[in-house]
Amino acid sequence: METSSFGIAIMAAGKGTRLNSARPKVLHEIGGQALLLHVIAAARSLVPAAQIYCIIGHQAEAVRAAASSTGVHFVLQPEQRGTGHAMQQLRRHFAASGQPAPENLLVLSGDVPLIQPATLQALCSFHLAERAAMTILTAVPPNPTGYGRVLRTADASPEVQAIVEQKALTPAQLSAPEINSGIYCFRTSALFSHLDSLSTNNAHGELYLTDVAALLVAHRERVVALRSSGPVEEVLGANTIEEMMHLDAAMRLATARRLMAQGVTIFRPETSVIDATVQIGPDTILQPFVQLLGNTRIGSNCRIGSYNVLENTQLGDNVLIRPNCVIADAIIGDDAKLGPFSHLRPGSQIGPEAHIGNFVETKNAKVGRGSKANHLAYLGDATLGSNVNIGAGAITCNYDGEKKHPTTIGSGAFIGSNSTLVAPITIGDTAYVAAASCITEEVPAESLALGRSRQVNKPGWVSARKQSTKRCD
Ligand code: UD1
Ligand code: CA
98-131 pLDDT tens trace: 989 999 999 999 999 999 999 999 999 999 999 9
* pLDDT value at residue 1: 57
* pLDDT value at residue 79: 96
- Say whether the peptide bond before residue 424 is cis (omega within 30 degrees of 0): yes
CATH, domain 241-449, list 2.160.10.10, 3.40.50.970, 2.40.30.60, 3.30.9.10: 2.160.10.10
134 C-alpha to ligand 2 centroid (Å): 20
CATH superfamily, domain at 6-235? Spore Coat Polysaccharide Biosynthesis Protein SpsA; Chain A (3.90.550.10)
Check pLDDT > 90 for residue 3.
no
State the pLDDT confidence band at 151, using cuts at 50, 70 and 90.
very high
* pLDDT value at residue 469: 86
Check pLDDT > 60 for residue 281.
yes
**Which of 8, 10, 11, 169 gets mutated to test ligand 1 (max ligand atoms within 8 A of its CB)?**
11
349-369 pLDDT tens trace: 999 999 999 999 999 999 999
Cα dist from 330 to 215, 227, 327, 351, 363, whole Å = 57, 45, 7, 11, 9
* pLDDT value at residue 190: 98
Whole-model pTM? Answer: 0.88
* pLDDT value at residue 2: 73
Beta-carbon-side half-sphere exposure of residue 362 (alpha carbons within 13 Å): 35
Nearest CA to ligand 1 atom 35: 239
Q: Using CB atoms within 10 A of its CB, is residue 320 exposed (0-12), middle (13-18) or buried (19+)? A: middle
Collapsed DSSP state (helix, strand, coil) of residue 179 = strand
Report the mean per-residue pLDDT for the chain.
97
* pLDDT value at residue 296: 98
* pLDDT value at residue 238: 94
What's the whole-number mean pLDDT along residues 257-265? 98
Return the axis-axis angle of helices 35-44 and 117-130, rounded to nearest 10°.
60
Q: What is the DSSP letter of 48?
A: -
What's the whole-number mean pLDDT along residues 380-401? 98
- The number of the ligand nearest the C-alpha atom of 12 reads 1
* Ligand 1 binding pocket, CB closer than 6 Å: 11-14, 25, 55, 57, 77, 80-83, 85-86, 109-112, 147-148, 163, 165, 179-182, 208-210, 237, 239
- Known catalytic residues are 375
418-430 pLDDT tens trace: 999 999 999 999 9
What's the whole-number mean pLDDT along residues 58-87? 98
182 C-alpha to ligand 1 centroid (Å): 7
What's the whole-number mean pLDDT along residues 451-463? 96
Percent of the chain clearing pLDDT 90 (strictly above): 96
SS3 content of the chain, % helix, strand, coil (to 5): 25, 30, 45
**Which of 63, 83, 179, 181 gets mutated to test ligand 1 (max ligand atoms within 8 A of its CB)?**
83
**Ranges of CATH 3.90.550.10 domains, the chain:** 6-235
* pLDDT value at residue 340: 98
**Ranges of CATH 2.160.10.10 domains, the chain:** 241-449
296-335 pLDDT tens trace: 999 999 999 999 999 999 999 999 999 999 999 999 999 9
